[in-house]
Chains A and B, each alone.
Chain A
Amino acid sequence: MAEHRPESPADLLRALHERGGTAAAHPELPRLLARAGADDLAAAGRLLAGLDPDEVLRHHPGTPTVRIAVTGRGTVTEAVPPLAAELARHGLLPRFHLSGSGTYVGDLSDPHSALYAHRPEVTLCLLDPWTVWDAVPVPWQPLDVSVAAERQLRLLSQLAEAHAAHAPAGAVLVLNTVPLLRRHTHQLTSHAHRAELGGLWRQFTADLLFLARPSAGLAVLDLEPVTSAGARADDPRLGAYADAHCAGPLLAGYAREAAHLVRGLRGAAKKCLVLDLDGTLWDGVLAEDGPRGVSAAGSLRGAAFGAFQRTVKQLASQGVLLAVCSKNDPGPVARALACHPEFPLGAGDFQTVVADWGSKAEGVRTIAARLGIAPESVVFADDLRFEQESVAAGVPGAAVLPLDGEPALHPERLLADGWFDTPDLTDEDRRRPARYAERAARDRLRTKAVDHHAFLAGLGVRVEVGPAQDHETARVSQLSLRTNRFNLTGARLSTEEVRRYAAAPGGLVLAVRVADRFGDDGVAGAALARTGEGALHLDALLLSCRVLGRGVEEAVLGGLLRAARGTGHTAVHTCWRPTRANAALRGLLETHGFRPRTAPEAGGGATGYTHPLGHIGDLPGHVELRLRLPHRDGETEVSACAPSRN
């Protein structure tokens, strides 16, 4: 006997079967088989193949059933166990009709066949690797195969028309591509002929695939991805002795794809992918590494997360809604999603974000309620087994991806169960994320109008600006190197350059420290300025993106203008030099009263700006600011903890 883990799904099912309880336990099968591997599924299929659908319905009258006819070129009985297992994984109860070996032409062309009497919703016409070859005479040339393939294609096309005419309305005939076997290609000894055969065979395959019109009742499963994932196609011995040419692994892969198609035809495709962040979407731990410390690019492991993000983005482009469910504070999550333009996915890609410390099952339900979808139409992605189990137990019907600590395997695990597969993609599908985004934007605006001021006032933001200490010069340099969005002049300075700037006559390096009631961000910005000819020259202004949107930028800029005026300067000169993300800063300068002094330099260079220090606007009322500006005669301090009256 093969060794089995004590609690394997197959063992549990065997125990159930011995007690006669399989039918009664049918609703448990999706959970039981969700993580089952190939051997377990094969074993489960053998047991489920004999399950009487009426017995299941006696226990659970509401079980969704699907009437399936299976016919094909050879023996099709061995397709039943894997189909039974795969359909059970999706909670579907099949009512099979099987045709004898090789009778598919009669089954499909005769309107009075037993196949049509079964009134199938789905007809699987299994084309095994002997398809076409049974009509090729020996000896043969590549062209003989091509002729037989063309004949086969015409036949299939006629059978599809017959199926459309005789099967119940809405029924779908499912064909498949035919794997090309080495035992056929290598009967040709010349490489030239072999290549010709390969080309002709791919033409047949392509023509077959182009027949597909799922919404008109004809689907074609492409088995090449199944065989390229390692499934052996043919079984030489059962093929020779029992006309059962498909190997078990091919049938397992076929059954998985067919079950996804059946689920999609029943409109049971999932709608929303709910994603964890740390270890799922990016490398690193947000709470420890900070918003800038997490990565989905730049390192080997980071790039693996980036590849996963691109896969997710591709699904989203076809109407899959995306949401974040993260055990973190909302602020850092928002900042991390906003401050990584190098990530394939950004804040704008997610319809909603739940960042709190509640259970993820609760988070998934909250997301479903916000999006107006059923919780069971969610697919949940998290690398932690604990969270997976929590959602599997707490949100019945939701799909849970078995991710783990290996991000390079995230994409295939996301796609393994075709959760979002639909027969056809509609314009509505493509527009869905945009519609949800519009709705979310309105919701945000409403929330903003009502309580954004209260929210900001309640934050207790404190900003302290003063000469950088020596140990802070490295941090100032790092900010200049890393900051793109709020880097006014595009300055990139090494630690040594920062130090030299501070040591030069009239040179000032100011560190910006930010804190609020949720935490202390430390040195989150810097300003480099020097005095010359009665004016203050602002050579760099930097703020980390993690502190943006809290009024810090307005407080720092407004405070600097006041301090410059207070120290007897007649103007503040600066420039805006475009980086890949700082376009918004030009607007910020102009709303603060800066006027262009010089035309932009050619080739995307800097535009000079001057503030005449006449009228200076109000400082943001919710920010407690303390700004110290040293000068020849001492130090000027600007402070504000209430709306400024200057």
Chain B
Amino acid sequence: MRTVEELIELANTELGTALRPADAAVELAQLDGWDSVHLLRLVALLETALGRRVPVDRMLEARTLREIWAVAVHP
């Protein structure tokens, strides 16, 4: 997982979202089709993809997809 675009692709494939790369910086609350439950599911998906634990508390506090990606990849 080298880029936030890969995170977006993961969400689209596994969660059935229709996010675009441009959505990386959009506030999650403003993001069309994004639901807070997606974040819980993304935790497990990211850990499987990365093969290691991610800091769940900081991920849950992230406000954009880019922040989620940053916290997950560079904890």
Please report A residues at the B interface, Cβ cutoff 8 Å: 1-2, 14, 17, 43, 46-47, 49-50, 75, 77-78, 80-81, 237-238, 240-242, 244, 248
Contacts and interface: CB of A to CB of B under 8 A. Distances in A.
Contacts of B14: 14, 43, 46-47
Given A14-B14, A238-B40, A241-B56, 11 more contacts: A17-B16, A43-B14, A46-B15, A46-B41, A47-B15, A47-B16, A80-B37, A81-B41, A237-B56, A242-B56, A242-B60
B13 interface: yes
19 contacts: A1-B10, A14-B13, A14-B14, A17-B16, A43-B14, A46-B14, A46-B41, A47-B15, A47-B16, A75-B40, A77-B37, A78-B41, A237-B43, A237-B56, A238-B40, A241-B60, A242-B40, A242-B60, A248-B44
B70 interface: no
Interface in B24-74: 37, 40-41, 43-44, 48-49, 56-57, 60
A241 B13 CA distance: 25
Contacts of A242: 40, 56, 60
A77 B40 contact: yes
> Chain B contact residues: over half helix, strand or loop, or mixed?
helix
Contacts of A46: 14-16, 41
Given A238-B56, A241-B57, A2 B16 contact: no
Nearest to A14: B13
A248 B48 CA distance: 13
Interface of B: 10, 13-16, 37, 40-41, 43-44, 48-49, 56-57, 60
A1 B12 CA distance: 13
User: Most chain-A Cβ atoms within 10 A of its Cβ — which of B10, B15, B16, B48?
Assistant: B16
A14 B10 CA distance: 11
Contacts of A77: 37, 40
Nearest to A42: B44
B69 to A, nearest CB: 15
B49 A78 contact: no
Contacts of B41: 46, 78, 81
B12 to A, nearest CB: 8
Contacts of B60: 241-242
> Chain A contact residues: over half helix, strand or loop, or mixed?
helix
Nearest to A22: B16
Contacts of A2: 48-49
Q: Which 7 A-B pairs have the closest CB atoms?
A: A77-B37, A237-B56, A47-B16, A50-B16, A241-B57, A241-B56, A2-B48
Nearest to B60: A241
A609 to B, nearest CB: 78
Contacts of B44: 248
A77 B16 CA distance: 16
A198 B28 CA distance: 44
A240 B14 CA distance: 25
Nearest to B47: A237
B50 to A, nearest CB: 10
User: Most chain-B Cβ atoms within 10 A of its Cβ — which of A17, A242, A244?
Assistant: A242
Contacts of A14: 13-14
A396 to B, nearest CB: 27
Contact of B40 (A50, A240, A244): A244
A139 B7 CA distance: 44
Contacts of A49: 16
B14 to A, nearest CB: 6
A49 B37 CA distance: 11
A306 to B, nearest CB: 41
Nearest to A236: B56
Nearest to B59: A241
User: Most chain-A Cβ atoms within 10 A of its Cβ — which of B37, B56, B57?
Assistant: B37
A43 B49 CA distance: 13
A60 B56 CA distance: 40
Nearest to B54: A237
Nearest to B57: A241
B6 to A, nearest CB: 9
Contacts of B48: 2
A238 B15 CA distance: 18
Contacts of A1: 10, 49
Contacts of B13: 14
User: Most chain-A Cβ atoms within 10 A of its Cβ — which of B13, B15, B60?
Assistant: B13
Nearest to B58: A241
Nearest to A43: B14
Nearest to B6: A1
B73 to A, nearest CB: 14
Nearest to A39: B48
A78 B16 contact: no
Nearest to A98: B37
A50 B38 CA distance: 11
A78 B15 CA distance: 13
A643 to B, nearest CB: 79
User: Most chain-B Cβ atoms within 10 A of its Cβ — which of A1, A75, A238, A248?
Assistant: A1
B37 to A, nearest CB: 4
A158 to B, nearest CB: 30
Contacts of A81: 41
Nearest to B37: A77
Nearest to B10: A1
Contact of A78 (B10, B37, B57): B37
B56 A78 contact: no
A240 B40 CA distance: 12
A80 B37 CA distance: 10
Contacts of A47: 14-16
A1 B60 CA distance: 21
A244 B60 CA distance: 13
A397 B50 CA distance: 40
A562 B49 CA distance: 86
A47 B38 CA distance: 11
B13 to A, nearest CB: 6
A49 B15 CA distance: 9
A243 to B, nearest CB: 10
A557 B75 CA distance: 91
A579 B14 CA distance: 66
A238 B44 CA distance: 10
Nearest to B14: A46
A17 B41 CA distance: 18
Contacts of B56: 237-238, 241-242
B34 to A, nearest CB: 11
